[in-house]
Chain A
Amino acid sequence: MNRYIAFIILILLAIPSLYAIDDNIDSLNQKAVKAYQDKEYQTALSDFIRIEKQGVIDANLFYNMGNCYFRLEQLGMSILYYKKALKVNPTHSLAKKNLDFAFTLTRDKIESSDSGALEKILKNLYHSFSLNTLALISIILFALLVLLLIIMQTLYRFKDKSLPVFFIFLIIIFLAATVIITSMKYSAYHKNSDAVIIALTAVGFSGPGAEYTRVFTIHEGMTCNIEDKNENWVLIKLPNGIGGWIESNLLKRVSL
């Protein structure tokens, strides 16, 4: 029995090694940060891009890249990267602040649909946990559940089981809630329908082609949802509900 516990502890100790990053990449990151501090934003950005190409997913990295783009006056790209940072870590307050500031500089006013107080609280709750935190919470809850079941099976074997059963039900409810939210977040994480306009101007048409009726004109930094794709054209929906087709190279998806 002791052997099994030792094995589990060993595995748990191995978790941090998942997040470990190559020393080379870390030194490249240091170099890029230094370049940024020396106001050489182009150099810093190209180093950051090299790190990103290595498959590193880090909220701070995306946040820093957003700052580089902002300094290089590429508003659309900076908004894209702040959104990426927030996708990795929805609680990244610096990225949230910078995104809000960048939104004030876009030519199109970006309205966020007003929602009720309860909806706001739920939304905040939903956004205050990252996917990894939720995954961690659900596995801990699951472990607790298993532990309680074992205790019930052993220590309470010949006793009144009402107390452990109560706790087991409580944990089952919490676990179900976390699993549901986690799966919701997971599907949202993989939807990749969020996009940011990176071209200075983008014209929306009623169909996939410039020969259709012109529907709207949007500018760099505007956010939208991609709903459909047709060769080089995508159907997007703006936050205020207007929809139209634009050329797919004018926008970039907020994907990791």
Chain B
Amino acid sequence: MKKFLCLFIISLFSVVFAADIEVDAYVNRTTIGVNDILEYTISISGENADKIGTPELPNINGFRNGGVSTSSSSSYTYSGGKFNASVTKEYVYSLIPQKTGRLTIPSITLKYKKKSYKTRTIKIHVVQGSNEPAPKTSNSYSQQKDNSSEKLSDNLFIEVEVSDNTPYQNEPVTIKYTMYSRYNVTSLSFKEDQAYTGFWKEDVFTPSKINFKRTNKNGVIFNRMVLKEVALFPALSGKVVVEPLAMSVDIQTNSRSFFSFGSSQTYTIKSKPVTFNIKSLPENAPDNFTGAVGAFRMNSSISETEMKVGEPFTWSVTLTGKGNFNNLELGKLPEVNHLRFFDPETSTQVANNKVSGSKTISYLVMPQEVGTFQVPSLSFAYFDYQKKKYQTLKTPVYKIEVAEGDQKILTSSTSQSIVSQENFDIGFIVDSSLQNQSLLLHSPLYWFIVILLFLAFPFTVIMQKRYDSLSSDQDYQRQKLAAKVLKKYLKLADDHHKQGNQNFYSAVQSGLSSYLTDKLKIAKGSRIEDIISAAVEKEIPEELIFELEMLFRKCNEARFMPGGFSKENIDNDYNKLQSIISELSKLKLRRKK
């Protein structure tokens, strides 16, 4: 029984042990150069090692994580009557030293099935330069004992050429990486993409195959190859560091013996980092400056200066020189009424060095109205880094003459346009003679008319009343008729008078007597005597009565003495008659009560 219990406990332990993992960490070297790359490996072994994910590496002081590669191996062991599968997983980190000195890679903690596993801490000594030992090679150049060095960094290195370390912001600079080697390089690869933080980067040259050329450098023969060339346009000012270029280089090593063929060995080499001190642009930038830095010339041309409405012309502006052509912006186009600028066609040509080139902007312009117009000046401001000051380029103003087009009727494809107000201003003054527009309500005349109108109705009523009472009076009617009768006779008398006829008197007599009978309101056909006496009764002035008597007497005489009256007599009596009638008509005879 005891035995069984013991066995059970042991088997239980084995199960526990089998589920366990082992974690270890190691590096390829403990002393490296600052230009070298440290390989830091975390190995995890155990039955379930591959069930643990890639360990996360914390930030290690003095190193930068340059990526990870994984390898795994498995082995099976037979013990205790069963197979134990063991998997070993290795994570190889490339750590790039950032500074020299004694650095420590801290312990890294892994968690698996609620248990923590810790790696050991590793101390690293980072020294200047490269500490990589030179491989033994069969390279013919290294036979020159005088110049050969035992150190790898003297025989395989990357040289950096910078056009300008203190550029202005946006000023184009080039970096050229050249590899010098005294070994037989079989393959090359870029370790990682360089990040050009703070720069706009344009690739100038990237090799497509290994292409070494023999060159003599300081009396030593090297194989030389350009690895990379970039044009950079600094976006920020101040101190900016471009990270070193890291290359993985396979070198064919010396064959140790006759039977062994040489093997290749992989080294990682780095260039020196490039430090820029970027100067910011001066303060006094022109308003239309959009950030272009370089050295430019500007040309412009216009295809035609005389055209008809609807005939388009091209206006092109070309910038040539040095600068970042891919990021170049021309000034804003001022708007011109009646000239329609279509979206421009832009073509950029950049030379292989990515720095010099030209940019052409072609506007298709459609004149829409008749007249003389100006194609506006387009201005472009940039900072000239050679002259160290701002420059503004301007295109000339082109004057164009637009004549009436042939096309009177718009085709369906041309849309009609709504007339738009081009500018706003106040209206022009009014040139008219002044009128005093004082209020009518203030004028006395207005109120006088109002009062007049007010009185008009009562006045009519009164007038009508009076008319009514008169028209009911017979005598009044006769009086009114009298004037009419008299007029008739007088007309007759007038005719006779003009002829010098004696009938004048008879007309006068009948006319006057009939008038007076009506006027005096006595019976018609009364005798002359009766008329005169009635006239005396009506208080007609005595002189007038006397005149009347005289005239009537003459009429009687004329009746009994035909031809007894001369022309002068008739004239005389006609005048007398007129004065009598005018006197009579002036008289107001009192109505009978």
Contacts and interface: CB of A to CB of B under 8 A. Distances in A.
A150 B456 CA distance: 8
Contacts of B438: 18-19, 57
A153 B426 contact: no
Contacts of A223: none
Contact of A58 (B435, B452, B457, B463): B435
Contacts of B425: 101
Nearest to B428: A67
B439 A189 contact: yes
Given A98-B427, A150-B460, A186-B441, A139 B434 contact: no
Contacts of A189: 439
Contacts of B435: 19, 21, 58
B441 A56 contact: no
A252 to B, nearest CB: 20
B460 A60 contact: no
A134 to B, nearest CB: 9
Given A150-B457, A153-B464, A131 B439 contact: yes
Interface in B216-273: none
Interface in B461-476: 461, 463-464
Interface residues of A, number: 52
A19 B436 contact: yes
A20 to B, nearest CB: 8
A199 interface: no
Interface residues of B, number: 33
B74 to A, nearest CB: 81
Contacts of A139: 446, 449-450, 453
Contacts of A182: 441
Contacts of B436: 18-21, 55-58
A26 B434 contact: yes
Nearest to A70: B426
A91 to B, nearest CB: 12
B444 to A, nearest CB: 10
Contacts, number: 107
A51 B435 CA distance: 12
B430 interface: yes
Contact of B434 (A15, A51, A149): A51
Contacts of B440: 131-132, 135-136
A18 B443 contact: yes
- Most B CB within 10 A of own CB, among A11, A29, A58, A98: A58
A135 B453 CA distance: 15
B437 A67 contact: no
A61 B437 CA distance: 11
Interface string A143-156: 10010011001100
Interface in A138-175: 139, 142-143, 146, 149-150, 153-154
A125 interface: no
A64 B463 CA distance: 54
A63 interface: yes
B478 to A, nearest CB: 23
B414 interface: no
B127 to A, nearest CB: 72
- Most B CB within 10 A of own CB, among A61, A70, A142: A61
B327 interface: no
B445 A14 contact: yes
A6 interface: no
A56 B438 CA distance: 8
Given A135-B446, A143-B453, A153-B457, A101 B426 contact: yes
A205 interface: no
B434 A29 contact: yes
A10 B456 CA distance: 16
Nearest to A1: B463
A63 B449 CA distance: 32
Interface in B415-438: 424-438
Contact of A15 (B445, B454, B460, B463): B445
A57 B435 CA distance: 7
A146 B434 contact: no
- Most B CB within 10 A of own CB, among A33, A51, A89: A33
A238 interface: no
Contacts of B431: 30, 33
A177 interface: no
A97 interface: yes
8 contacts: A11-B449, A18-B445, A33-B429, A58-B437, A60-B430, A98-B427, A101-B424, A153-B464
The 5 closest A-B pairs by CB, nearest first: A135-B440, A60-B430, A98-B426, A64-B429, A19-B435
Given A18-B438, A21-B433, A131-B441, 6 more contacts: A15-B445, A18-B443, A29-B434, A63-B430, A97-B426, A154-B464
